[in-house]
Amino acid sequence: MTFAATELFLDYVQAYVAAFHSQRYSAMIIAGHRVALLLACVVCSIVEAAPDWFAFALCSLSLGILGVSALIITVRTRGPAAPIWRTVQAATGYWAGSLVGNIRQLEPSAVGVTLGTSVAGVFALSSRLVNPLLIFTSTLQTLFMPVLSSTQEGSAEWNRARRTVFWLCVFYAGALCLGAPFAPLAVSIVLGSDFAGIPFLLQGVIVATALSAMTNYFQIVFNARGFAWDAALIIGAGNVLSVLALVVVGVTNQVELLWAAPVASQMLLLGAISVYARATPRLRLVSGATEASTNG
C-alpha cells in the first residue's frame, strides 16, 4: 500500500509540474521514476539476504524523495496550485476515462468462456506482447494533457500542442501498421519458434493498437476541453463492444476471425468518437491535419 501511495503521489507531482508548462522537468520526473525503480531492484538483487518487504520499502523511499523534491522545487519557483478539492472535482471525468479502459481486461475471459482456455491463453499472450506499445500513447497523455488543459484554448501555444499530439499519433499509428506484418517474425526471433503460431492474431492486435492511438488523440483533446465524461462514455461503449465481438466470434466458433474482433471494434470506436467530435461545435477536431497546414 505504501508503494502504491508513493507511485500515485509521484504521478500527481508529474502532472503538477507539467501543468506549469515545464515539459522538460516533467519528462525528467517520468525518467527518474523508472530509474529509481530500476536502481532499487538492482540494490535488492545485490543484497540477497534482504527480507521480502525491503524491495517495496526501498522503492517507496526512492519515489517519495523524488516526488517531494520535485514538488518543493516547483512550488518555490512557480507558486502553489489550485485547491486540491477543486482539482479532484474537475478530474472525475478523467478518472472515469481511465477506469473504462479496464473493461478490456475482460477480453481474455470472454475468449476463454467461448473458445476454451488454450485459445484464451494465446489471445492473452498476444495482448501482453503488444502492451509495451501503449507506453507511447500514455506518455503523450501524461505530457500534453496538463498543457492543453491549462493553456488558453485557441491560442498559438494550445494549437501547437494539439497539432503536435495529432501528428505524433498519426505517425505512430502508421508505423505500427507498417510494422505489423513483421511482428510475428520479430517475436519468433526474440522469444523462440513456439511463439510463431499466432501471426494473424498478433498482427490484428497491433493494428487495433494503432487505431487506438488515434482514439487517444481525441481522448486527450476531449479531456482538455472539458468533455472528459463524453470521451469516457464513448470509449467505455467501444470497449464493451470489443468484448461482445469476441463473444460473438467464440459462440460462432470462428477462431480464424479472432484477430478481426479487436480491429473492427477499434475502427467503430474511432469512427464514433470522430463523428461525435465533428457534430459538436467545440470539438470539430477531425480536420486536424487541415488545421495544421493552414495555421502552421
pLDDT tens-place string over residues 246-280: 999 888 888 888 888 889 999 999 999 999 888 87
Query: Is the same domain home to 188 and 75?
Result: no
Query: Is the same domain home to 120 and 249?
Result: yes
- Rounded to an integer, what distance in angstroms lies between the CA atom of residue 17 and that of residue 25? 7
The boundaries of the domain holding residue 117 are: 90-295
Q: Are 44 and 55 in contact (CB under 8 A)?
A: yes
Query: Is the same domain home to 75 and 106?
Result: no
Q: Are 225 and 283 in contact (CB under 8 A)?
A: yes
Query: Is the same domain home to 31 and 99?
Result: no
In which band, very low, low, confident or very high, does the pLDDT at 294 lie, cut at 50, 70 and 90? Answer: very low
Q: Percent of the chain, pLDDT > 90? A: 16
In which band, very low, low, confident or very high, does the pLDDT at 73 lie, cut at 50, 70 and 90? Answer: low
Query: Is the same domain home to 72 and 189?
Result: no
Query: Is the same domain home to 104 and 63?
Result: no
Once rounded to an integer, what is the mean pLDDT over residues 209-218? Answer: 92
> From residue 25, how far is each of 16, 35, 78, 247, 254 by CA, in Å?
11, 15, 13, 45, 50
Q: Which of 81, 109, 130 is the last residue of a domain?
A: 81
pLDDT higher than threshold 90 for residue 167: yes
Greatest mean pLDDT among 71-85, 123-137, 182-196 lies in: 123-137
Once rounded to an integer, what is the mean pLDDT over residues 210-238? Answer: 89
Query: Is the same domain home to 119 and 19?
Result: no
Domain tally for the chain?
Answer: 2
Query: What are 274-282's contacts with CB under 8 Å, separation 24+?
Result: 274/218, 276/230, 276/234, 277/218, 277/222, 280/227, 280/230, 282/225, 282/227
Measured at the CA of 238, the angle between CA 12 and CA 102, to 5 degrees, comes to: 40
Query: Is the same domain home to 144 and 283?
Result: yes
For helices 2-19 and 134-150, the axis angle rounded to 10 degrees is 50
Q: H/E element holding 153?
A: none
Q: Which of 81, 104, 132 is the last residue of a domain?
A: 81
Query: Is the same domain home to 68 and 122?
Result: no
In which band, very low, low, confident or very high, does the pLDDT at 52 lie, cut at 50, 70 and 90? Answer: low
Q: What are the backbone angles phi and psi of residue 289, rounded to the nearest 5°?
A: -65, -40
Query: Is the same domain home to 190 and 291?
Result: yes
Helix or strand or coil: residue 151?
Answer: coil
In which band, very low, low, confident or very high, does the pLDDT at 48 lie, cut at 50, 70 and 90? Answer: low
Cα–Cα nearest to 130, from 202, 216, 196, 238 = 202
Q: What is the pLDDT of residue 271?
A: 93
Cα–Cα nearest to 113, from 245, 241, 256, 251 = 251
Query: Is the same domain home to 66 and 119?
Result: no
Query: Is the same domain home to 9 and 103?
Result: no
Q: Which of 58, 81, 104 is the last residue of a domain?
A: 81
Mean pLDDT of the chain: 76
- Rounded to an integer, what distance in angstroms lies between the CA atom of residue 14 and that of residue 8? 10
